[in-house]
C-alpha cells in the first residue's frame, strides 16, 4: 500500500532545514525500496516550504513510523505532518510502481 506524507515547514525553519538536510537525505536513502518518491514543496520563490514523500508500507502505523524517523521531524523542521493513504492513478514517469 502507498502512503503520502504531506509536511509543511515550521515558520522560520529555513536554516534548520538546510542544516538537517544531509541527515534527512540519508534517512530517505536508508528506506530503500519502501521510498517511492520524495521532494520539497516549493513556495512562489521556489524555496522549500515543506515536503511530499510517498512510502510503501503494510499499514498506516508503519508509514507513521517511517515519517517520524525522519531527522526533519526530530529537528523541528516540520510544523505539521499529514499521512494519507494514496493510490497511483496515472504514471507517465516510466518508473514501475
Residue 71 lies in domain:
2-86
**24 in a domain, yes or no?**
yes
| Domain of residue 63, CATH code | 3.30.70.1060
**12 in a domain, yes or no?**
yes
Question: Where do we find the cell 542544516?
Answer: 19
Q: How many structural domains does the chain have?
A: 1
Residues 6+ apart with CB under 8 A from 8: 41, 49, 50, 78, 79, 80
**75 in a domain, yes or no?**
yes
- What single-letter DSSP state applies at residue 95? -
pLDDT at 89: 87
3-class secondary-structure state, position 29: helix
**42 in a domain, yes or no?**
yes
Print pLDDT tens along the chain (97 aa). Answer: 999 999 999 999 999 999 999 999 999 999 999 999 999 999 999 999 999 999 999 999 999 999 999 999 999 999 999 999 999 888 887 666 6
Question: Model's pTM, two decimal places?
Answer: 0.89
pLDDT at 80: 97
pLDDT at 87: 93
Amino acid at each position: 500500500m502507498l502512503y503520502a506524507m504531506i509536511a509543511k515547514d515550521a515558520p522560520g525553519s529555513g536554516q534548520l532545514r538546510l542544516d538537517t538536510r544531509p541527515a534527512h537525505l540519508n534517512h530517505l536513502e536508508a528506506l530503500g525500496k519502501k521510498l517511492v518518491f520524495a521532494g520539497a514543496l516549493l513556495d512562489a520563490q521556489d524555496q522549500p516550504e515543506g515536503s511530499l514523500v510517498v512510502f510503501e508500507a503494510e499499514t498506516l502505523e508503519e508509514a507513521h513510523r517511517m515519517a517520524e524517523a525522519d531527522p526533519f521531524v526530530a529537528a523541528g523542521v516540520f510544523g505539521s505532518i499529514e499521512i494519507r493513504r494514496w493510490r497511483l492513478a496515472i504514471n507517465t514517469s516510466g518508473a514501475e510502481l
